[in-house]
Amino acid sequence: MRITRVEPIPVRVPLKAGMTTRTAHGEYHTSDYVIVRVHTDEGIIGLGEATVSALWSGETSASGIAAIEGLIGPALVGEDPTRITSLRARIDFLLKLNPFTKAAVEMALWDIAGKAVNVPVHRLLGGKLRDTIPTKMMIGAFDVPRARALAERFLEWGARCLKVKVGIDAAGDIARVAAVREAAGPDVPITIDANCGWDVPTARVALDRLRAQNLLVAEQPIAPGDVEAMARLRWSCGIPIMADESVFTLVDAWNVLRGGAADVISIYPGKNGGIAAAVEIAQVARAAGVACHVGSNLELGIGSAAMLHLAAAVPNIDSATYPADILGPHYHEADLLAEPLALLPEGARVPDGPGLGVMLDEDQLRRFRVD
Ligand SMILES: [Mg+2]
């Protein structure tokens, strides 16, 4: 089997009314994606998805398409799509950074490899350890009434864990978390995510005051870069620390682990540059005795499916303790899938069809494509 074409398709999908979100990286009303179709001479088509957010990784639809049309596509045409390790190395040699774009292409290769032998991707990764993945719902950094209303809405739906965005201003952040805790009662696990929004002194004060809210973890309280500062915060604040923006690459993971800067590392195919890259980080973390969590950049259906296969097959991803952020489709007007994933309150079901186990909905694709 040979690759005949790598086709990038820019897509823009609005967030649902009332489900727009706000973090220290900004406010979101629409999300941009590059959907990838990798075509082969045997008629098998692999699907991939890149969340492209300049605020997150510096990638945009235009940059993703340029990278695929100018560099990745020409390097892959004529190659065997199932030689994923070799093709990853070639892509990494040609193009630095750009993890979400690379991940879209790489997950499409896994999709082809699975479809070619009629098995799900989780089987190619060693087999699934779980059938459902516990998840949480996310509450943007809104004022107290709106945050409380979202918490009540998600709990009524059946959500078993909530994540509250903070990192805007400490007083407002603390009030928002307290309101969500009050709505949730003492037993629902709550996490916070500052998305690098606090400086070190603010984080110290805010985390000290948030200790009373019995938080499961505090995600990325400060900016990446100063591993020692995050390690000091970890030891002094009394709340487990999760590294997200601090760990894009395997080397990032090594530095955070060696520096003792995190209790948990958040990984996912997009941020880490592919499924295999995320597995590598999980293994390094395992060696250090640190669990991983599946984070998100508001993926649609294809990206969420890739996260589910990863979460299902990797032992060191502890979604039972740290429910995954496999939630993007809940927030958007479309997931681009012919049949939606089963993202249920009690957990997201792992797809068992060949490859990623999902199919593109051509009507939705036409409706939301922006080229
Ligand atoms: Mg995060």
CA distance 66 to 121: 28
**How far, in Å, from the CA of 319 to the mean position of ligand 1?**
15
Q: Mention every residue, 6+ apart, whose C-beta is less than 8 A from residue 165.
A: 21, 22, 23, 24, 138, 139, 140, 141, 192, 193, 194, 195
Class of the CATH-defined domain 124-349? alpha beta
**How far, in Å, from the CA of 209 to the mean position of ligand 1?**
21
User: What pLDDT is attached to residue 141?
Assistant: 97
Class of the CATH-defined domain 3-118+361-368? alpha beta
**How far, in Å, from the CA of 119 to the mean position of ligand 1?**
31
CA distance 56 to 50: 12
**How far, in Å, from the CA of 101 to the mean position of ligand 1?**
19
The predicted model scores a pTM of: 0.98
**How far, in Å, from the CA of 85 to the mean position of ligand 1?**
28
**How far, in Å, from the CA of 141 to the mean position of ligand 1?**
13
**How far, in Å, from the CA of 40 to the mean position of ligand 1?**
36
**How far, in Å, from the CA of 246 to the mean position of ligand 1?**
10
**How far, in Å, from the CA of 114 to the mean position of ligand 1?**
30
Q: Measured between alpha carbons, how far apart are the two ends of the chain, in Å?
A: 30
**How far, in Å, from the CA of 116 to the mean position of ligand 1?**
35
**How far, in Å, from the CA of 156 to the mean position of ligand 1?**
24
Beta carbons within 10 angstroms of residue 258's beta carbon: 12
213: which 2 tokens?
């809210």
Domain ranges of the chain: 3-118+361-368, 124-349
**How far, in Å, from the CA of 341 to the mean position of ligand 1?**
22
**How far, in Å, from the CA of 295 to the mean position of ligand 1?**
6
Judge if 3-118+361-368 and 124-349 fold alike in CATH terms. no
pLDDT, tens digit only, all 371 positions of the chain:
999 999 999 999 999 999 999 999 888 899 999 999 999 999 999 999 999 999 999 999 999 999 999 999 999 999 999 999 999 999 999 999 999 999 999 999 999 999 999 999 999 999 999 999 999 999 999 999 999 999 999 999 999 999 999 999 999 999 999 999 999 999 999 999 999 999 999 999 999 999 999 999 999 999 999 999 999 999 999 999 999 999 999 999 999 999 999 999 999 999 999 999 999 999 999 999 999 999 999 999 999 999 999 999 999 999 999 999 999 999 999 999 999 999 999 999 999 999 999 999 999 999 999 98
